[in-house]
Amino acid sequence: MNGLYLGIYVVLILLLVILGAFIFMNRKAHIKKIIFFSILIFTILLFVGYYGYSILNKPILKINGSEIVNISVFDKYNDEGFEIKHPNSTKLKKAVKVDNNVDTNKVGTYNVKYSLKYFGKDIYATRIVNVIDEIKPIIELKGNTELTLSRGIEYAEQGYTATDNYDGDITNKVKVENNILDEVGKYEIIYSVTDSSGNSYSIKRIVNRLNNNNGVIYLTFDDGPSSNTSKILDILKSENIKATFFVVNYGSAYDLLVQRIVNEGHTIALHSYTHDYKIIYASEESYFNDLITLKNKVKNTTGIDSIIIRFPGGSSNTISSFNKGIMSRLVNAVKEQGYHYFDWNVDSRDAGVAKNSTEVYNNVMKGLIPNRSNVVLMHDLGYNVKTVEALKNIIEDSKNKGYSFARITNDTPMITHKVNN
Q: Give the separation between CA 338 and CA 344, rounded to whole angstroms.
A: 20
Q: Which helix or strand (DSSP H or E) is residue 348 part of? A: none
Q: For 55-59, 309-313, 330-334, which range has the lowest pLDDT when averaged over its residues?
A: 55-59
Q: At residue 170, does pLDDT exceed 80? A: yes
> For residue 327, how many C-alpha atoms fall within 13 Å in the half-sphere facing its CB?
21
Is residue 347's pLDDT more than 50? Answer: yes
Which whole-number Å values give the CA distances from 180 to 143, 149, 159, 188, 190, in the listed order? 18, 10, 16, 7, 11
SS3 at position 87: coil
- Measure the CA–CA gap between 35 and 32, rounded to whole angstroms: 5
pLDDT band at 132 (very low <50, low <70, confident <90, very high): very high
Residue 109 φ then ψ, to 5°: -110, 130
The DSSP bridge partners found for residue 149 are 209
The CA distance from 94 to 88, in Å, is 11
pLDDT at 356 (0 to 100) = 97
pLDDT band at 336 (very low <50, low <70, confident <90, very high): very high
Domain definitions of the chain by residue range: 2-56, 60-132, 138-210, 216-405
Q: Which amino acid is at 366?
A: K
Helix axes 357-367, 385-400, angle to 10 degrees: 40
User: Residue 186 and residue 133: Cα distance in Å, rounded?
Assistant: 36
For 103, the 3-state DSSP assignment is coil
Is it true that domain 216-405 has CATH number 3.20.20.370?
Answer: yes
Q: How far apart are CA 52 and CA 150, in angstroms?
A: 93
Task: Return the CATH number of the domain spanning residue range 138-210.
Answer: 2.60.40.10
CB atoms within 10 A of CB 222: 24
Nearest to 246 by CA among 307, 296, 328: 307
State residue 285's pLDDT score. 97
Same fold, 138-210 and 216-405: no
Residue 133 backbone dihedrals phi, psi, to 5 degrees: -120, 110
Backbone angles phi, psi at 391, to 5 degrees: -60, -50
**Nearest Cα to Cα of residue 397 among 186, 171, 168, 116:** 186
Helix (H/G/I), strand (E/B), else coil: 132 = strand
Least confident span in 13-27, 303-317, 386-400: 13-27
- pLDDT, tens digit, 9 for 90 and up, residues 215-224: 899 999 999 9
What is the rounded distance in angstroms from the CA atom of residue 348 to the CA atom of residue 358?
11
> What's the distance, CA 314 to chain centroid?
43
Q: State the sign of the Cα–Cα–Cα–Cα dihedral 155, 159, 164, 168.
A: positive
SS3 of 85, please? Answer: strand
Cα separation, 302 vs 309, in Å, equals 16
200 vs 100, 130, 166, 191, CA distance in Å?
32, 20, 13, 11
3-class DSSP state of 44: helix
Averaged over 36-42, what is the pLDDT?
A: 61
Non-local CB neighbours of 106 within 8 Å, separated by 6+ positions: 73, 131
Question: CB neighbours of 386 closer than 8 A, spacing ≥ 6?
Answer: 350, 354, 355, 356, 357, 359, 360
pLDDT tens, residue by residue, 172-202 = 999 999 999 988 888 999 999 999 999 999 9
What is the per-residue pLDDT for 32? 58
Which pTM was predicted? Answer: 0.56
Query: In which element (H, E) is residue 193 found?
Result: strand 185-194
CB proximity list for 349: less than 8 A, separation 6 or greater: 359, 360, 363
How far apart are the C-alpha atoms of 307 and 339, rounded to whole Å?
5
- Tell me the pLDDT band of 204, cut-offs 50, 70 and 90: very high
Looking at the domain that runs over 60-132, which CATH code has it been given? 2.60.40.10
Render pLDDT for 296-315 as a digit per residue (tens, 0 to 9).
Answer: 999 999 999 999 999 999 99
How many CB atoms are located within 10 Å of the residue 158 CB?
13
pLDDT of residue 349: 97
pLDDT digits 0-9 by tens, 267-294: 999 999 999 999 999 999 999 999 999 9
3-state secondary structure of 279: helix
The one-letter amino acid code at 108 reads G
Q: Which of 60-69, 85-94, 176-185, 251-260 has the lowest mean pLDDT?
A: 85-94
The predicted pLDDT at position 1 comes to: 41
pLDDT score for 121: 83
Q: Could you give the C-alpha distances from 60 to 4, 75, 351, in angstroms and in order?
A: 20, 31, 85
